Amino acid sequence: MKAEILKLLRECEDYISGERLSKEFGVSRTAIWKYIHQLKEEGYQIESVTRKGYRLIENADRITASEILSRNHAGWVGKEIEYYEVTDSTNQRIREFAEDGRANGLLAVTEEQTGGKGRRGRTWISPKGSGIWMSLLLRPELEPDQASMVTVVAAVALAKTMTKLTELDVKIKWPNDIVVNKKKVSGILTEMSADMDQIYYIIVGIGINVNTMQFPDEIKNIATSIAIEKGECISRAEFIAEFCAQFERYYEQFLEKGNLSFIQGEYESYLINIGREVKIIKNRKEMIRKAIGINELGELIVEDEDGKQEVVFSGEVSVRGIYDYV
Ligand code: BT5
């Protein structure tokens, strides 16, 4: 209800009377007043004027649960949202929620991470206020070796969302990076809890540089943001809501089919490495191969100079461009 009230206030530039809100939602004017009060406590500037009603004054780029829910579709991904001003890692928050039995589709988002994680112990830089740092809880009935396919599903959903909302030329660097203009704009970290033959839960962690304008020295040559590339800021809440809808659609198809054949072509249309030589780094050994595409398990198909093909798994290798990051 709070999210619905926020949605109405945002859509209406003029005042909305307490009476109209109470009729619209079928609750008392006192109840409306309480919700407005809660929104104010979340930091929204809402003006209340006698005999006129309420008006949302400033429309900042927030990602609170109410802000996202007021834009969300009616599905199950992101139906429940836990918001933090600051936390160490949203993947860590989701892990705890999962252990507490929280539902499939729960989303954790934060303004800032103090211990953002990349793969294999790497750091994900997550400054305050300008990015999307979020994690999703999934409880699929899949075999443990199918979990890495969820990263591919998330990558396509992310690329699709970004293309739709920004019109940038969005690319995927296999398996988990989203790249614009040869620089990394987003990364995915998929973790899971499983035993030999079943998955208990999967955590899909996503970091997106949205309105970030400057990066620290260690990543400034490889990182970029949507705002830098597009030349304007975009709404983070709208991005999250659109991603939830896109991810849900692709993920349900994936569960139905059990593999990635339905999405292979789309993934490859975003794949920046396709047809190019890449450096495969496996156990510190480097090999040069040509990237051909992905198979229905999400593994990268590469070819050596004699035309002999083999597949590489995301767990075992790093892929780099020959001269550059991509
Ligand atoms: C990733 O790892 O790209 C996965 C990133 C996942 C981050 C999300 S944020 C929400 C959730 N909570 C977490 O704690 N994590 C997830 P990897 O492929 O290993 O790439 C890591 C490398 O990317 C680093 O070693 C840096 O070189 C670079 N990097 C770090 N921060 C970056 C940033 N903000 N933008 C672009 N590149 C970055």
Compute the Cα dihedral for 225, 229, 231, 236 and give only its sign: negative
Residue 58's pLDDT is 72
Integer Cα distance of 154 and 300 in angstroms: 16
**Structure pTM?**
0.89
Instruction: Tell me the H-state helices in the chain.
Output: 2-11, 18-25, 29-41, 65-69, 90-99, 148-166, 226-230, 236-257, 264-270
Residue 326's pLDDT is 67
Residue 319's pLDDT is 76
Q: What is the DSSP string of 239-254?
A: HHHHHHHHHHHHHHHH
From the alpha carbon of 89, which atom of ligand 1 is closest?
14
Query: Ligand 1 center to residue 252 CA distance, Å?
Result: 26
Q: Residue 222 is encoded by which pair of tokens?
A: 């490889």
Walking along the chain (326 residues) 10 residues at a time, the average pLDDT comes out as 89 87 93 92 86 85 92 92 97 98 98 96 94 98 93 98 97 94 96 94 98 93 95 93 98 96 96 89 85 94 93 75 65
Residue 326 CB contacts under 8 Å (≥ 6 apart), including other chains: 171, 173, 179, 182, 272, 273
Q: Is the distance from CB of 186 to CB of 207 less than 8 angstroms?
A: yes
Own/partner contacts of 283-292, CB < 8 Å, gap of 24 or more, are 283/316, 288/322, 291/174, 291/319
Residue 91 CB contacts under 8 Å (≥ 6 apart), including other chains: 117, 135, 189, 191, 203, 205
Q: Is the distance from CB of 263 to CB of 153 less than 8 angstroms?
A: yes
Residue with tokens 């990237």: 291
Query: Ligand 1 center to residue 60 CA distance, Å?
Result: 26
Nearest CA, atom 2, ligand 1: 118
Give CA separation, 50 vs 7, 57, 75, 142, 314, in Å.
22, 16, 38, 57, 61
* Residue type at 44 in one-letter notation: Y
Rounded (10°) CA dihedral 18, 71, 204, 133: -70
Pocket flag, ligand 1, residue 160 (CB < 6 Å): no
Residue 315's pLDDT is 64
Pocket flag, ligand 1, residue 240 (CB < 6 Å): no
Residue 324's pLDDT is 67
Work out the angle between the directed axes of helices 2-11 and 18-25 (0-180°, nearest 10). 130
Q: Strand, coil or helix: what is 234?
A: coil
- Bridge-based pairing state of the strands 285-294 and 300-303: antiparallel
